[in-house]
Amino acid sequence: MNTSVPELIARVAADFPDRRAVRDPAGHLTYRELLAGAGHWERVLRAQGVAAGDTVAVCLPRSAVTLQAILGIWRAGAVFVPLDPSHPSHRWSFVVADCGARAVVCAGDADAGRLRAALPGPAGAGPAVLRVEDVAPNPSSGPVEGVAAEALPVEGSAPAYILYTSGSTGTPKGVVVGHDAFAQYVRCAGELYKGASGPAPWHSPLIFDATATALWVPLAHGGEILVVPGSDPLSGLEGLGLLLEEQREIGILKITPTHLESLAEWLGPEWTGNTIASLVVGGEAFRPDQALPWLPLCDQIVNEYGPTESTVGVVVAEVTDRHVDEGVIPVGHPLPGTEILLLGADDTPVAHGEAGELCVAGTQLADGYLNRPELTAERFPPHPLIPGARMYRTGDLARVGRDGELLYLGRIDEQIKFRGQRIEPAEIEAALNGHSEVVQSAVVLRSDRLVAHVVAVDALRPPRGQDLAAYLKELLPPGWVPQLFEPLDRLPVTHNGKLDRKALVQVTG
Write the DSSP string, 129-185: EEEGGGSPPPPS---STT-SGGG----TTSEEEEEEE--TTSS-EEEEEEHHHHHHH
Q: Is the dihedral of CA 457, 460, 461, 462 positive or negative?
A: positive
**301 with 294: CB under 8 angstroms?**
yes
Q: What is the pLDDT of residues 288-336, one digit of tens each?
A: 999 999 999 999 999 999 999 999 999 999 999 999 988 889 999 999 9
Quick one: CATH architecture of 173-412? Answer: 3-Layer(aba) Sandwich (3.40)
Report DSSP letters for 68-97, one per residue.
HHHHHHHHTT-EEEE--TTS-HHHHHHHHH
What pLDDT does residue 63 have?
93
Name the CATH superfamily, with its identifier, for domain 424-505: ANL, C-terminal domain (3.30.300.30)
Task: List the chain domain ranges.
Answer: 1-154, 173-412, 424-505
Q: What is the pLDDT of residues 177-213, one digit of tens each?
A: 999 999 999 999 999 999 999 999 999 999 999 999 9
Rounded to 5°, angle at Cα 485 from 479 and 488: 145
Q: What is the pLDDT of residues 260-293, one digit of tens each?
A: 988 999 888 888 777 899 999 998 889 999 999 9
Beta bridge partners of 255: 281
Alpha carbon distance 296, 21 (integer Å): 28
Burial 12-29 (b: 16+ CB within 10 A, else e): bbbeebebbbbbbeeebb
**138 with 35: CB under 8 angstroms?**
no
Q: What is the C-alpha radius of gyration for the chain, rounded to an integer number of angstroms?
A: 23
Does the pLDDT of residue 152 top 60, yes or no? no
CATH class of 1-154: alpha beta
Q: What is the pLDDT of residues 412-463, one digit of tens each?
A: 877 788 877 778 787 788 789 889 999 889 999 988 889 999 999 998 899 9
Beta bridge partners of 28: 23
Does the pLDDT of residue 42 top 70, yes or no? yes
Fold match flag (1-154 vs 173-412) = yes
What pLDDT does residue 184 have?
97
147 versus 356: the higher-pLDDT residue is: 356
